[in-house]
Amino acid sequence: MSRVVTQFLVNGGPGSAAGERAERIAAEVDGRTEISYRTGARRGDIGRMAAAVRRNKPAIVYSMDLAIAPVTAWALSDRGGSLMVDTGDTPRAFLDLIGASWPAKRMADILERVGYGRSRRIVVRGAYHAEQLHDVGYHHVSVIPDGVDTDLFRPHVVDDLRSQLGLDSRLTVGVQGNFTWFPQLGGGLGWDLVEAIGRHSLDIDAVFIGDGPGLSHLRVLANRHGIADRIHVMGRVSYNRLAQYLSLCDVTLLTQTDDPSSWARTTGKLPTYLATGRHIIASRVGSAADVLPADHLLEYRGKWDDTYPDRLARRLSDLAADRAETRRSGLELRDLSSRYEYGSIARACADQISAIIDTTPAGAR
């Protein structure tokens, strides 16, 4: 059997967004590839990943996300192969945002110093992230955004599902992702939507797609506002089924706080929302502000904006007044998804791998 040329270490399981990106890139890479996923406890995954690198002796170790497990596995494997880091997050800036402990921030500093400093190439998802890295001296950076399969992600007719949920004549507003909760800030993913509906008694329904500890907090908040019947939790769905559940939503939300961590991480959900033809409301932060028309953006002020739900409520109230126009305007956004088509995104990443291999002396590969 031929030697593994590129070893992908994925900070997520099969079917995750990180896994999907790795699989798409691997399909475009010249030479044999192998993908190792996170599947359990971090320590065990680090050991398995490090063993795979030592066994395969690849020319490239491709760390999908700047995360402890893949970067540590590369380091423990005697740094076999040239390291590439593909990331959409800024660990230290995020920990600063949520008020994390000093040891956690120290670990993030080490992770960034090793991951950024020892890599041959850093692939980031947004231009603002590249600017941040350039400002602190890292210039081996390429911007390649998140991707989407526009054949798989398209508008679906989900009338039966809407009927089952009692949503036939309702404006539905969706949020997809890992639902977290940060007491230091006062909320988490989906908080702004529950607050908008509750504070202003909006006659609309929220659709939450995903799981995570924040969902229990959102339910408590909804109960407090007396709107528990307007909250619909779909749970985690596979990448292959996500477009159907997004099609439940007349409107999708992409809310990011206005701070350094969020400037870098605003492309993940955007391509899938665009490709499924949803009307998008996004905070005017990072990549979303560069891509979306002005009437799809709302101002967000600082690290935590308690007034944002009020502006969101006014926008949602206008959209609820004409659901047909809301849906039409969402479909018009679909053309913007072409810039994120996974074929070209994956080839661009594969070209970065090839460039490193081509400039690596034969004896060091």
Strand 279-283 relative to strand 205-209: parallel, antiparallel, unpaired? Answer: unpaired
169 vs 243, higher pLDDT? 243
- Is residue 362 over pLDDT 60? no
Give the pLDDT mean for 338-354: 96
Res 242: pLDDT: 93
Contact assessment for residue 269 and residue 177, using Cβ atoms and an 8 Å cutoff: yes
119-149 pLDDT tens trace: 999 999 999 999 999 999 999 999 999 999 9
- 238 pLDDT band, cuts 50/70/90, is confident
What percent of the chain has pLDDT above 90?
A: 86
- Is residue 363 over pLDDT 70? no
> Residue 312: left if φ>0, alpha if ψ -120 to 50, beta else—which one?
alpha
Tell me how far apart the alpha carbons of residues 339 and 4 are, in angstroms, rounded to a whole number. Answer: 31
- Is residue 55 over pLDDT 70? yes
Nearest one of 31, 76, 21 to 53, comparing CA atoms:
76
Sign of the alpha-carbon torsion through 126, 127, 128, 134 = positive
Cβ-in-10-Å burial (0-12, 13-18, 19+) of 176 comes to buried
- Is residue 222 over pLDDT 80? yes
Q: Where do the DSSP E strands lie in 16-110?
A: 32-37, 60-64, 82-87
Give the pLDDT mean for 294-308: 96
Average per-residue pLDDT for the chain: 93
153-207 pLDDT tens trace: 999 999 999 999 899 888 999 999 999 999 988 899 999 999 999 999 999 999 9
| Structural domains of the chain in order of their starting residue, each with its CATH number | 4-147+341-364 (3.40.50.2000), 159-339 (3.40.50.2000)
Torsion from C-alpha of 190, 191, 192, 193, nearest 10 degrees:
50
Tell me how far apart the alpha carbons of residues 179 and 197 are, in angstroms, rounded to a whole number. Answer: 18
Tell me how far apart the alpha carbons of residues 38 and 290 are, in angstroms, rounded to a whole number. Answer: 33
Q: Which residues pair with 42 in a beta bridge?
A: none
Give the pLDDT mean for 319-330: 94
105-117 pLDDT tens trace: 999 999 999 999 9
**pTM check: above 0.85:** yes
Contact assessment for residue 194 and residue 231, using Cβ atoms and an 8 Å cutoff: yes
